[in-house]
A and B are shown apart, each in its own frame.
Chain A
Amino acid sequence: DTAVSQTPKYLVTQMGNDKSIKCEQNLGHDTMYWYKQDSKKFLKIMFSYNNKELIINETVPNRFSPKSPDKAHLNLHINSLELGDSAVYFCASSQGDSQETQYFGPGTRLLVL
């Protein structure tokens, strides 16, 4: 039974489009995250979110927005996609504080043409 799942696995789209990536965790965790792994394989935090606060990495463009319909889901919406958004996006979850292991989803490979 998958702990952290993401859909879709692959996403190919045109520049300027708006797209969403969904993430669900069945671990009962209260904090979820989005990471971007760029072409240089650098995994960088984009957002962390629990039911109290959203922490945004200041380098993330405001075209990216996380939406959490409930504690088990944190979806990533991207508006006006750009070529540089092409990357693998990983969702993760943890029980809360920095000492807890984060569990990652399988990743969504986004290609913007």
Chain B
Amino acid sequence: DQQVKQNSPSLSVQEGRISILNCDYTNSMFDYFLWYKKYPAEGPTFLISISSIKDKNEDGRFTVFLNKSAKHLSLHIVPSQPGDSAVYFCAASSGGANNLFFGTGTRLTVIP
């Protein structure tokens, strides 16, 4: 049973425009959410996170929005750059547990 879902396997965006990656979860106990970025032949690298006590967290070009009532979070990248082309994984954890539950990833392609 997949508790974290990324329903869009791929997304293409023009350079300079906004990229919006979406993630849904089913477990209402999740209280911490993360986005990881993965290049081919490399492990995922941490990008940005948000605690359930917030609804927005911003770091440079990256902003994560959390809608707890909808059990939905999104990652906004603006402006998108060709170097942002990668697979983005959404992940979640619940209080005190070390385990991260990952979505299946969304492949972002930023077209120059």
**Interface positions of A (Cβ within 8 A of B):** 4, 31, 33, 35, 40-45, 48, 55, 57, 90, 92, 94, 96-99, 101-107
Residues in B neighbouring A35, C-beta threshold 8 A? 102
Chain B residues lying within 8 Å of A43, measured Cβ to Cβ, are 44, 89, 102, 104-105
Bound-state Cα–Cα, A94 to B95, Å: 16
The answer to whether residues A48 and B98 also contact, given A42-B104, A43-B89, A101-B46 and a CB cut-off of 8 A, is yes
6 intermolecular pairs with C-beta atoms under 8 Å apart:
A42-B2, A42-B104, A48-B98, A57-B99, A98-B99, A104-B45
Residue of B nearest to A99 (CB): B32
Interface centre among A33, A41, A48, A98 (most CB of B within 10 A): A98
Q: CA–CA, A42 to B101, complex, Å?
A: 10
Q: Is the CB of A97 within 8 A of B49?
A: no
Total contacts A-B at CB 8 Å: 61
Contact flags (1/0) for B66-105 with A, using CB distance below 8 Å?
0000000000000000000001010001111111111011
Complex: A1 Cα to B43 Cα, angstroms: 15
Determine the distance from Cα of A97 to Cα of B96 in the docked complex, in whole angstroms: 6
Q: How far is the CA of A35 from the CA of B1 in the complex (A)?
A: 16
Shortest distance from the beta carbon of A49 to any chain B beta carbon, whole Å? 9
A94 & B43 in contact (Cβ 8 Å cutoff): no
Which residues in B have some Cβ–Cβ distance to A below 8 Å?
2, 32, 34, 36, 41-46, 49, 51, 87, 89, 93-102, 104-105
* Other-chain contact of A55, B36, B45, B98 (Cβ < 8 Å): B98
Question: Once the chains bind, are A45 and B99 in contact (CB under 8 Å)?
Answer: yes
With A41-B104, A45-B99, A48-B98 known as contacts, the answer to whether A98 contacts B46 (CB < 8 A) is no
Contact of A40 among B36, B44, B104 (CB under 8 A): B104
Q: Is the beta-carbon distance between A98 and B104 smaller than 8 angstroms? A: no
Is there contact, CB below 8 Å, between A98 and B43? Answer: no
Contact (Cβ within 8 A) A98 B105:
no
> B51 to chain A: which residues have CB within 8 Å?
99
Is B46 a contact partner of A103 (Cβ separation < 8 A)?
yes
Q: Are B43 and A105 in contact (CB under 8 A)?
A: yes
B residues in contact with A44, CB < 8 Å: 102
